[in-house]
Amino acid sequence: MEIKEAQKLVDDWINSVGVRYFNELTNMAMLTEEVGEVARIIARTYGEQSFKESDKARKLDDELADVLWVLICIANQTGVDLTEAFKRNLEKKNIRDFNRHKNNPKLS
C-alpha cells in the first residue's frame, strides 16, 4: 500500500465510521499515548523490565500500527502529504548525513 492510499483509507474511515477527526491537540495526546505503548513493549521485550499480566496481550505490530494511524490522522487534518514530506525528508538526510554516519567511530 502506498502512503497516499493509507491517508485516503484513514480519511474515508474517519468520515464514515469515525464521524469526524478529533482535534489536533487530542490527536497529539493520542499519538503520545500510542508511542508510550510502543515504548512499554520495547522496554519489556528488550530491556530489563518484565511484563505485567495486563501487558502480555499487547503486540508490537498492533501498537506500531496505532502510531501510524494517529500520525496519518494528524497529517490529514493539517494538510500534510506524507509521501511528499517523506521524499523531502529523505533528500535532506541524504545531503546532511551523507558521510556523517560513515565517519562516526561509534558506529564502526
How many folded domains does the chain comprise?
1
Q: What is the mean pLDDT of residues 53-82?
A: 95
Is residue 7 situated within a structural domain?
Answer: yes
| Three-state secondary structure call for residue 106 | helix
Per-residue pLDDT at 102 exceeds 90: no
Q: What is the CATH number of the domain that holds 31?
A: 1.10.287.1080
Answer yes or no: is 42 within a domain. yes
Q: Is residue 89 part of a domain?
A: no
Query: Residue 52 pLDDT > 90, yes or no?
Result: no
Instruction: Please state, as a whole number, how many other Cβ atoms lie within 10 Å of the Cβ of residue 27.
Output: 21
**Predicted structure pTM score:** 0.88
How confident is the model over 15-33, as pLDDT tens digits? 999 999 999 999 999 999 9
**Domain range enclosing 27:** 3-81
pLDDT (0 to 100) of residue 99: 84
